[in-house]
Amino acid sequence: MEPKLIPLSLFLTFFCLSHSVLGTTFTLYNKCTHTVWPGIQPSAGKPVIARGGFRLAPNKVYSLKVPTGWSGRLWGRQECSFDATGKGRCETGDCGGALYCNGLGGTPPATLAEITLGDMDFYDVSLVDGYNLAISVTPFRGSGKCSYAGCVSDLNEVCPVGLQVRSRDNRVVACKSACFAFKSPEYCCTGSYGNPQTCKPTAYSRLFKTACPKAYSYAYDDPTSIVTCSGGSYLITFCPHH
């Protein structure tokens, strides 16, 4: 089934009503100038929603009802090409060469929006698996702190050479995390670095944090990168700075 696209003019009215009428709603908004193929991966034991992925054209909005207690991650795939059967590949964030991720995660590097619903919802935007495009999470109609989370800056513009992922025409399309690029315990917070006391910010994670102070930059980043809200619905925007 094709995603439900609604005109932008109706978006805010629909969204502001959505919580009281439908329960928790995720509304995905592609503010980029190019098409994005969102991917959605549930946490273990949680259901796949929206078949795990779909195509979202520029300036389009897609709203979906989310089951109570759902948790998982959302990301944007870019420069994808799929055949009529839904097979193909994406330049960034690819999930096993399929249009419908159906439970699979995205290949790093990819910017992640992570959300856990409950009596209190927890959410963040994470650069722990690297960066491919800007994402923000904005709550509506919730109670509590309910603040914005996101990475609005274009990290591809400042990505160090050793972390760059380049397209076939040599553009920087994503920025690896230092862990993904170098596989060392110091950057991955594993082994003797597997706790907050020994795993500290690095030059690379500081670069990410400076560019995107409201996003997780490494495994033991400042806990204030996680935001809480009770009874909200959530707007996930790709390229919020456009």
Q: Letter for the amino acid at 221?
A: D
Task: Give 58-82 pLDDT, tens digit per residue.
Answer: 999 999 999 999 999 999 999 999 9
Provide, rounded to the nearest whole percent, the portion of the chain with pLDDT above 90.
80
DSSP H or E stretch at residue 9: helix 8-22
Q: How many domains does the chain have?
A: 1
With vertex at residue 164, the alpha carbon angle to CA 128 and CA 158, rounded to the nearest 5 degrees, is 80
| Closest by CA position to 36, among listed 90, 5, 76 | 76
Give CA–CA dist 240/36, Å, rounded: 13
Give the pTM. Answer: 0.88
Contact 36, 90 (CB under 8 A): no
Decide if 74 contacts 113 (C-beta within 8 A): yes
Q: To which H or E segment does residue 78 belong?
A: strand 71-82
Q: Residue 62 pairs with which residues in a beta bridge?
A: 5, 28
Does residue 162 register a pLDDT over 80? Answer: yes
How many whole angstroms separate alpha carbon 236 and alpha carbon 233?
10
CATH code (residue 175): 2.60.110.10
The predicted model gives 117-133 an average pLDDT of 94
Quote the domain boundaries for residue 16.
5-238
